[in-house]
Structure formats: C-alpha cells, structure tokens
Amino acid sequence: MPALSLQGSLLLSLIFIQFAATAIAADENPVPSRTLIRAGHVLDVRTGSETADQTIIVSGGVIAGVAATAATAKNPQDLEIDLRGMTVMPGLIDVHTHLTMDTNFDPYHELSTSVAKSALIGAHNAKVTLEAGFTSVRNVGAAGFADVDLRDAINAELITGPHMQVSGPALGITGGHCDENLLPFEYHAQGGGVADGVESVQHKVRENIKYGADLIKICATGGVLSKGDDPQASQYTLEELKAIVADAHRLGRRVAAHAHGAQGILWATQAGVDSIEHGSYMNDEDIAAMKAHGTYFVPTAYLVDWIQVNGHLPPFYYQKMKDVSAVAKANAKKAIAAHIKVALGTDSAVYPHGLNAHEFEVYVDQFGMTPLAAIQSGTLNAADLMGWSDKVGSLETGKWADIIAVKGDPLRDIKLLQHVSFVMKSGEVYKRQAD
C-alpha cells in the first residue's frame, strides 16, 4: 500500500480534528431526545375522559406516546415541560378562515389592498391565530394565491403560523359574490376565480390546483359582504357544480361551498361538495340531503354576534347582514339537532383574527351542543373534513405534536378555550404563560 503524501496526511488530520470538535460540541450541547409534557389532565376528545397525571412524549415533532407520569422517567437529554396545573388537549382547527384579509368593511380598503399587502396581513394574522390555540386551518379564499405563499412561508419556517390548507381565489359566477363588483364597467375588473359554464369552471379548478391550491372553494349562492348579489339566489347551476366537484375530487382536492340560500345548498350537496359554509337559509330538504350525502356543515356563527355589536357596514352590506342574521342561527340549531355533521369554522376576518374560539361558546350556549361535541367539531370533525385525521385532531401516537393547554376544565366551561395558555405546533412551543 503506497504511503500517504504529506498533503494527504494533513487532510486526514484536519478531518479527524473536525470530527473530534463536533463530537465534543455535541456532548457539551446535547440535543433533547424527547420532550416530556407533564399534564395535570389530558383530554381525550374521542371519549371526553380527562385522565390525571399523564405525560405526553414528543419526539421529532410527533407524539411518541402518552403514559402515566409516574411511569415516565426523565432521561438526561430530555426536555421537560411542566403543565401539571392545566388541562392538555389537541390543537384546535378552524376550517373557514381568511388569514390574508382583515376586518375593514370600507370598499376603498378592499380595492386598494394589493396581493402583496394581503400576504403581509396574512403573516400577522397567522401568528395571532396560532397563538390563540388554532394549530391548523383551512383558508377558503384569497386574492392572487396570497394564501399559497403564506402557507409555503410557514412551512419553510420563514414566519409563524398554523398548518394550512389553502384554496387560492374562490370560484364564482360573473357578477356574483366572488366577483369584483365595486368598480364601474370601464375598469373591466373581475375576480380571480370567476368562471362561467362547464368548460370554464373545469379550467378554473385545474388552474387553481396548478398554482398550489389544496382545496377548491366555490360560491354556490350570493353573499353578504358583496355588492349587487342576493344571498338567497343560487349562482352556479347544478351542472356547473357537478363539473367542479368531479374535477376537484378526481384531482385529489375537496370542495367547500359558500352557500346561504336553500336552492344553492341543495344543488351543492347533490353535486357532492364536502362542506356547506354558512347555510343561513338551510331548510328541511337541505338537511336531509346533507345527512344522506355525509356533507359537513360549517356554521360560522359567532360573526353574527360580533357584527351586531361592533360592525359598521356600508348600507348595501348592512341590510343583507340583517336579513341573514335573522334566520341563520335558528336554522343552524335545527340542523345540529338533526345530528348533521359539524366542523368548526369562523369566517375570521369578518371579525378580528384570534377570537376564533368564541365559536365554541355559540355552539354550546346557543345551539345546545355539549362542550365535548363542540370541541369535537374543532378537533376530530375538522380533521376529518380536511382529510388530516392521521395527522391532527387528537393526542395519539404518530400524529403531529400539536398541543394546547388551558387553566381549568373546558368540559365545564367552554369559554376557557378563549384563553389558551400553552401552544405547541409540531413539537415547537409558540406560547407559554405561567401557571
């Protein structure tokens, strides 16, 4: 074997020195092998049991197990988090957010907000939402695919925010709720998701997916915070709706349908959408169809209370909001009493981001849900609607370590979820207040 040259010997020596230095540094600054969350009680959102003195074991950003604290010793390299005075539960999920929008109903504000500005607004709102305990969201409608960029920036750890599924621009008809109707004809302004006719809506679904959409949001009826349309009027035809759903499902995307009016709710359900958002004028035929198809209902109910106290709407928004608010909650209560599937969604941006957990209080105090059923709407059910049941929604081995804690028992006082003290997402702590 030939002798090493002087240059080769020096190279080997440098490699050895670097290896030794790295090993020493690792010994001096050991990386925690596990995070042990010592919980006062752990809420099982499937059963409602609240087991005392449990430890949630987190490793590599996922839950490695849940065991009795007495049986889970701390190793020298483990990181221990003491939440013994709190109830620990899975991170909350909001399936109807608009993180790239803010609570400003002045039409000029809407017209003067660029896509870049909406993305910056989204960065702020994403942090606020995560710190409120919502570790996963669906963003259902954003101009210029700003929500795609927001999701990607969060995933790249450039900014702080929840796990996101995003839709990009919502699909709607010309002149409908998801169009741009505030400017006169000579501007030829049109919403980014506008499409009319079967071929056009198929193209728009494919285009949204091309540019990064995780799901498809459609406007099946008119809306409230838009000019010149009627919330009770259906927008897309049944044939157009079927084409949208067929292409979306074939390409692996679910469909969320903004729908206030009864006809639009029925057609969207018959077409096979995965969720009805709002459902204000829902009738018995709609409820029966949604139960038969297994369609989720996303009530977005707290916004009615917030708007009545705090909202300052232009006249062409105000009357529609008044009309919708007069019937929406009674119909939602009827649907929930009929045991329709419910996933929690807030329409945050219509009211300030960070107040999302007020939605739970409405479900319990006004709709008659048990606290556990309300919590399930924002954990297990929301995860199921998103197709993420293997990732989020409960504290089970192999799921993302998305964990929150509150001081007290949320099954006794659902309002505790409005004051989350601890937030972990994928094993990283984003909020921790003293017990």
Would you name the residues annotated as active-site residues?
A: 217, 347
Neighbours of 115 (CB within 10 A): 14
Cα angle: 207, vertex 383, 271; to 5 degrees: 50
- Does residue 77 contact residue 35 with C-beta atoms inside 8 Å? no
CA 247/CA 407 separation, integer angstroms:
46
Crossing angle of the two packed helices 358-365 and 302-310, in degrees rounded to 10 = 110
Cα angle: 405, vertex 406, 407; to 5 degrees: 135
- Does residue 382 contact residue 357 with C-beta atoms inside 8 Å? no
Query: Which tokens sit at 284?
Result: 């018995």
Neighbours of 168 (CB within 10 A): 29
**Residue 235 CB partners (closer than 8 Å, separation 6+):** 172, 173, 176, 177, 219, 220, 221, 222, 229, 264
Q: What are phi and psi of 389, to 5 degrees?
A: -60, -25
Question: What number of residues does the chain have?
Answer: 435
Q: What are phi and psi of 71, to 5 degrees?
A: -100, 5
Q: Quick one: which of 298, 294, 292 has its CA closest to 279?
A: 298
Exposure b/e, 321-333, CB count within 10 A at least 16 = b = bebbbeebbebbb
CA 182/CA 131 separation, integer angstroms:
35
- Does residue 392 contact residue 400 with C-beta atoms inside 8 Å? yes
- Does residue 46 contact residue 396 with C-beta atoms inside 8 Å? no
